[in-house]
Amino acid sequence: MHDREHVARVRQVASNLIAKSESINLTPFELTLLLLSIYLHDVGNVLGRSGHERKIDRTLEAAGAMPPVDRIEYKAAKQIATAHGGTVAGSKDTISILPERQAVSGLYIRSRLLAAILRLADELADDPARANRVQLASGHLPRESEVYHVVATGLHSQMHDVSTREITLSFNFDDPTLFKRMLGKGRREVHLLDEIYERSMKTFNEARYCSRFMRPYMEFERVKVDIMIFDQHQMLLHNIVYTIAEHGYGDHSPDIYDMVPELAAYKGNGKLTPAYLEKLLAAAQEEGQ
The CATH number for 112's domain is 1.10.3210.10
Which residues are CB-neighbours of 134 under 8 A, at least 6 positions away?
none
Q: Which pLDDT does position 6 carry in this prediction? A: 82
Give residue-wise pLDDT tens across range 155-195: 999 999 999 999 999 999 999 999 999 999 999 999 999 99
**42 — pLDDT class (breaks 50, 70, 90):** low
- Say yes or no to pLDDT of 280 above 90: yes
In whole angstroms, give the CA distance from residue 169 to residue 222.
Answer: 11
Q: Are residues 112 and 144 in the same domain?
A: no
Q: Are residues 210 and 237 in the same domain?
A: yes
In whole angstroms, give the CA distance from residue 139 to residue 136.
Answer: 5
Domain end position, chosen among 123, 157, 180: 123
- Say yes or no to pLDDT of 56 above 80: no
Least confident interval from 63-67, 171-175, 271-275, 279-283: 63-67
Cβ neighbour number for residue 257 with a 10 Å cutoff = 17
Domain end position, chosen among 103, 123, 143: 123
Instruction: For residues 253-274, give the mean pLDDT.
Output: 91
Higher confidence at residue 41 or residue 76? 76
Q: Are residues 112 and 132 in the same domain?
A: no
Query: Which residue pairs from 103-112 have beta carbons closer than 8 angstroms and sit at least 24 positions apart in sequence?
Result: 104/29, 104/33, 104/72, 104/73, 104/76, 105/29, 105/70, 105/72, 105/73, 107/27, 107/29, 109/27, 109/29, 109/30, 109/33, 109/76, 110/30, 111/76, 111/79, 111/80, 112/213
In whole angstroms, give the CA distance from residue 189 to residue 59.
Answer: 32
The partner residues of 240 in beta bridges, in order of sequence, read 227
Domain extent, residue 99, equals: 4-123
Q: Which pLDDT does position 135 carry in this prediction? A: 64
Helix (H, G, I), strand (E, B) or coil at 88: strand
Instruction: For residues 68-89, give the mean pLDDT.
Output: 80
Cβ–Cβ under 8 Å, residues 288 and 282: no
Which residue type, as a one-letter code, is found at position 141? L
Q: Are residues 163 and 247 in the same domain?
A: yes
Q: Are residues 157 and 259 in the same domain?
A: yes
Element (H, E) at 91: none
In whole angstroms, give the CA distance from residue 130 to residue 153.
Answer: 8
Q: Which pLDDT does position 63 carry in this prediction? A: 44
**What is the domain count for the chain?**
2
In whole angstroms, give the CA distance from residue 113 to residue 34.
Answer: 10
Q: Which pLDDT does position 277 carry in this prediction? A: 97
Q: Are residues 105 and 216 in the same domain?
A: no
Q: Are residues 48 and 150 in the same domain?
A: no
Q: Are residues 114 and 166 in the same domain?
A: no
- Say yes or no to pLDDT of 271 above 80: yes
Q: Are residues 76 and 147 in the same domain?
A: no
The structure's pTM equals 0.87
**1 — pLDDT class (breaks 50, 70, 90):** very low
Higher confidence at residue 286 or residue 55? 286
Q: Which pLDDT does position 207 carry in this prediction? A: 96
In whole angstroms, give the CA distance from residue 1 to residue 226.
Answer: 24
Q: Which pLDDT does position 254 carry in this prediction? A: 76
Q: Are residues 69 and 164 in the same domain?
A: no
Domain end position, chosen among 91, 123, 155: 123
The answer to whether the bond into 216 is cis (omega within 30° of 0) is: yes
Q: Which one, of 232, 241, 240, lies nearest residue 174 by Cα?
A: 232
Helix (H, G, I), strand (E, B) or coil at 10: helix
Q: Are residues 276 and 173 in the same domain?
A: yes
Q: Are residues 15 and 91 in the same domain?
A: yes
Give residue-wise pLDDT tens across range 90-148: 788 999 999 999 999 999 999 999 999 999 999 998 766 665 665 666 666 788 889 99
